[in-house]
Structures are given as C-alpha cells and as structure tokens.
Amino acid sequence: MNDQASSLRSRKYSRPTPQEDGLPRARRIAITSGKGGVGKSNVSLNLAIALGRMGKNVLLVDADTNLANIDILLGLRVDLTLGDVIFNNAFLNDVLIPGPEGITILPGSSGMVEMLEKDDAYRQRLMDTFETLEKEFDVLIIDTGAGLSENVVRLVAASDEALLVTNSEPTAITDAYAMVKVVTHINPNQKVHVVINLARKQQDALATFENLQLAARQFLQRELTMLGHMPYDKNVPLAVEKREPFLLMFPRSGASTAITMMARKLLRISYKQSSTDNFLSQVLDKREDE
C-alpha cells in the first residue's frame, strides 16, 4: 500500500484543523473531450501513473459515467464509492484505493455534481471531503465523462487546467471545439492543453492542433497549448483487455513514450491556481447560466 493511502487510512476523516489551512492545494487537471471514446480514461490513468513515477502525490478521481471506468482499466474491485462517504457515513480512507506508482484512486465519483445539489448537510460533507483531499495530494487528475452535459462542463471549468483529448476526425474536432467554447464562456482564463490521440504522424497531429487553435483564436480569442500526441498503438487495447495500464505493461510502446513526455511537459508548464477555494465550491460557482 502506498504511503499516501496508508496515511489517509490510518486516521479517521475529520474536518481539517485551522493550522492545516496554510497548506498548498492540489493542482486540478480535468481530462475531457467533446466526443466519447477518444482515450480520456486511458490518458487519465497512465498520465496519473507517469506523474506518480515523477514523485507527485496523485489522486485520480473517476468522474466518468461510462462503462470503461478506471477501476475496470485496473481490474480493481470497488466496494465503496464517494457516495458511501456522503450518504452512508463510510470513511473516506476506506473508499480510496491505492494504485500503481503511489497513485490513489477515488472511484465512482460520477455523481459528484448531483451530490452538490443535495441538502446542506450532504453538501457540507462533500465539501469537507474534498478539502481534505486537496491538501493531501499534489495533483488531482479528474477523468470526466464525454460530452457537454452541464455536470461535465462544471467539473472541467472548476479545474485549474483542462486537458482536452481528441482524435483528428472532424466529428471529434468539432466536439472538442464546442467544449472549448462552453468552458471559455464560464472560465475564460482557464488553460486548455490539447492531446491529439490516434495520430498517424507528428505532422498530422500538429495540423489537427493548428486547426483547433485557429478556430479558438478566431472565434473565442483563446490560446490553446499542445501538450502532445499519442500514436495509434495496438498495445493500448491489449493492456485494456488485461486490465493493466499500458505504461506498466508495455513501457517501451509508443503510447507509453508519449504519455511520459506529456507528463514531463505538464510539470514544466507553470500554472496558476484558479482559486484557493475548495474545488467543489468552484463547481458550485461554475454554472453555465451565470
């Protein structure tokens, strides 16, 4: 068991003491896309592991509503989820699952935004839970569901940075642009890093990024950053089938090299916390109609 999880498990959850309030908060990175099935969960999991390897305390928050959840990608058995902490008095420490390279997984968090709409006591418990988590970890990687549903958009807009995964197909690019547009509307200063997946060649990935960048500049006055590209790699579905992260199973594969480079680049990029407020209070603030 990794140190992070054991430290969290060893004590019962309690509200942070005022002395802890001076602690820096985690860097919040939401992994998103417009179109589904473009590789978000695989990027989330393997990027989290790569960052863990580079010495970061990473919490991977599984807020994806689809079937290929992080726990499935890792072959984990999930008995308790965030909902059990909020509604059934389970301890947070019993919900967190230790993962490879010291990362920790918060499974089954897809209903987070709906939980925020519940009555005050539940909302407070959820806020307090995130307050604790954000002080314990260096980085939160939040794997969101696909699409532009309000809940997904709010999670993305509340993060310090969005990591937008797309492939080069026109449908995926159009949906990726739509995501940038909606998020820009709510949080105009948020950094958006783009990952082009299933790229045949580097030039193709750059061309796709430039198209997206051109549209964002022209219509939204937004600059995007290119974080990297990942080739089509037959080892990715093989690793998925074996319920193992490809970074561990095929460390020399093209996908693994790409993810490692992206993790290094991410750590070189300076970032500014959008707010020192609790992540979920940011989510509450980020309604599209505001």
Residues that bind ligand ATP (CB under 6 A): 33, 36-42, 64, 66, 68, 146, 197-198, 230, 232-233, 236-237, 240, 255
Q: Which does 195 bind (CB under 5 to 8 A by kind): ligand ATP, Mg ion, none?
A: none
Please state the closest distance from residue 20 (CB atom) to ligand ATP, in A: 34
Residue 62 as a binder of Mg ion (CB under 5 A): the answer is no
User: 183-211 in b/e burial notation, b at 16+ Cβ within 10 A?
Assistant: bbebbeebbbbbbbbbbeeeeebeebbee
User: Residue 70 and residue 211: Cα distance in Å, rounded?
Assistant: 31
List the end-to-end C-alpha distance of the chain, in Å, as a whole number.
Answer: 43
Instruction: Choose one: 18-26, 39-47, 242-250, 254-262; the region binding Mg ion (CB under 5 A).
Output: 39-47
Nearer to ligand ATP, 8 or 231 (CB): 231
The conformation of residue 19, written as its DSSP 8-state character, comes to G
Q: How far is CA 99 from CA 20, 29, 57, 186, in A?
A: 26, 18, 11, 33
Residue 71 as a binder of Mg ion (CB under 5 A): the answer is no
Dihedral of alpha carbons 113, 114, 120, 126, sign: negative
| Binder among 41, 168, 190, 274 for Mg ion (CB under 5 A) | 41
- What is the Cα Rg of the chain in Å? 18
Nearer to ligand ATP, 197 or 278 (CB): 197
Q: Which does 240 bind (CB under 5 to 8 A by kind): Mg ion, ligand ATP, none?
A: ligand ATP
Residue 64 as a binder of Mg ion (CB under 5 A): the answer is yes
